[in-house]
Amino acid sequence: MSKKYKKTFLKQVLVRVDFQNSLSNYEKGLLPAVKKKLEKYFPIFIEHKNKHTNVRIENMQQYISTIEQKLWTYYSKDKKKHTRIEPADFYIQYDKYNTFKQLKNDFFLVFNSLVKNYGELNIIRIGLRYIDEIDMKDEDDVFDWKKYLNPKMFSSLSIPLKKDIKFISRAFSNLEFNFETHNLVLKYGMFNPDYPSPIKKKVFILDSDAYKVDNIQSEDVEEVLIQLHDKISDIFENRLIKDGLREIMDG
């Protein structure tokens, strides 16, 4: 995250902001100035239609209504990153991540354009998420991670009898933190892409999702992003990984 490795196991990185209210006249399309700014850096544009079904009950009668909503997604030339603007939020997703500095540049390109053209956004949530998929499929011992990761993360693998370990189909955990200024959800373990079949591939997931829920002023957004990034980085470097993994990532 903060340290620049030659190789990473990052599968996906996501940054997202939620607003209290929808963007003005969203259903008519984004304002031309916003579209122009986005198209300069995210030139591939795709319009989606999303359907929402609402169910309400009145006088013992059930009423179902469907609302169709337009969503706009802008992709980079190589389609390795994209941003989507929704009525009350926007996010940027990276399938190929470079640096936190680049993420901030992309984020504020979109964010500043929205603020400039729509006014104060009344931010109620900011989230930053890093998903690592540590793939060691070439190694024979599927359940041996002690060289690469904090052994406390896979302590549950010691519960079964040795003869039953080969029948494990998933070993995945969830740890949630409520810090004074923000929250973090850490999901980790062997999720197993072949579930519910027994685990055959040596793949370990580290999913770090940090967020802040509050009334956040525009001038405080960068500070919040840095805070979330630094917390994820600190836990990743000091509590999750070991030198064996660092050696691989350092190339």
- Chain-centroid distance of CA 170 in Å reads 22
Token look-up 């793939």 returns: 135
Task: Give the pLDDT confidence score for residue 225 in this predicted structure.
Answer: 98
Torsion angle (degrees, nearest 10) of CA 233, 239, 240, 245: 90
Contacts of 48 (CB under 8 A, 6+ apart): 70, 71, 72, 73
Buried b (16+ CB within 10 A) or exposed e, 94-126: beebeebeebbebbebbbebbeebbeebebbeb
- Which structural domain range is residue 99 located in? 22-121
Q: Which two tokens stand for residue 112?
A: 């500043």
One domain for residues 29 and 10: no
One domain for residues 159 and 76: no
One domain for residues 183 and 166: yes
> What stretch of H or E contains 48?
strand 44-58
pTM for this one?
A: 0.91
| Each residue's pLDDT tens digit, 191-200 | 999 999 999 9
Task: Give the pLDDT confidence score for residue 69 in this predicted structure.
Answer: 77
One domain for residues 79 and 132: no
One domain for residues 143 and 216: yes
One domain for residues 171 and 83: no
Number of domains within the chain: 2
Sorting pLDDT into bands at 50, 70 and 90, what band is 215? very high
| Each residue's pLDDT tens digit, 16-49 | 999 999 999 888 889 999 999 999 999 999 988 7
Task: Give the pLDDT confidence score for residue 117 in this predicted structure.
Answer: 95
One domain for residues 177 and 93: no
One domain for residues 32 and 2: no
Task: Give the pLDDT confidence score for residue 2 in this predicted structure.
Answer: 62
One domain for residues 107 and 167: no
> Where does a domain end: 104, 121, 138?
121
Task: Give the pLDDT confidence score for residue 68 in this predicted structure.
Answer: 74
Sorting pLDDT into bands at 50, 70 and 90, what band is 120? confident
Judged against a pLDDT cut of 70, whether residue 154 lies above it is answered with: yes
One domain for residues 71 and 144: no
Task: Give the pLDDT confidence score for residue 230 in this predicted structure.
Answer: 97
The maximal CA–CA distance of the chain, rounded, in angstroms, is 67
